Structure 1
């Protein structure tokens, strides 16, 4: 069965904090897991979205999901995950973990 993992991030630029949220659904729209994580010292919205994507990936691995679709609303993060070109910015280090 193929699960769907959705992620999103809420970024507080003034305090450099992020809350990332992750939800795992099955094909019948039953919630299998959810998780929220508070991060500090986050430098930008792009880093925030990359952290949220990383948390989604880690949750899928922790749950031993064999076949998943990971969905988020950050086109930049998704595009960087799909390329083989290495990014030398902070976001590149996070993408490498994904």
Structure 2
């Protein structure tokens, strides 16, 4: 048990008092989450995920060309995840 208040307990306070405290806490939480360090880590993680998914697409294309094995389910799922990763990355970039 900690002597300091946790973020969850602080966000529960406005339900008993007022919404002003809630807005301040949420704004501070957003400032912490959008700090430079966190932004760099998020960007690096998204670059790695997109690179990995592109490598999977190359893998699928190689096996379709060389071994005449076409992995349609794997291709669809990879394109689906790649689409959402790029979409999420653009949302972060434009925010």
Question: Normalized against structure 1, the TM-score is what?
Answer: 0.28
TM-score norm. by structure 2 comes to 0.29
Larger Rg: 2
Higher share of residues assigned helix: 2
Specify which structure has the higher proportion of strand. Answer: 1
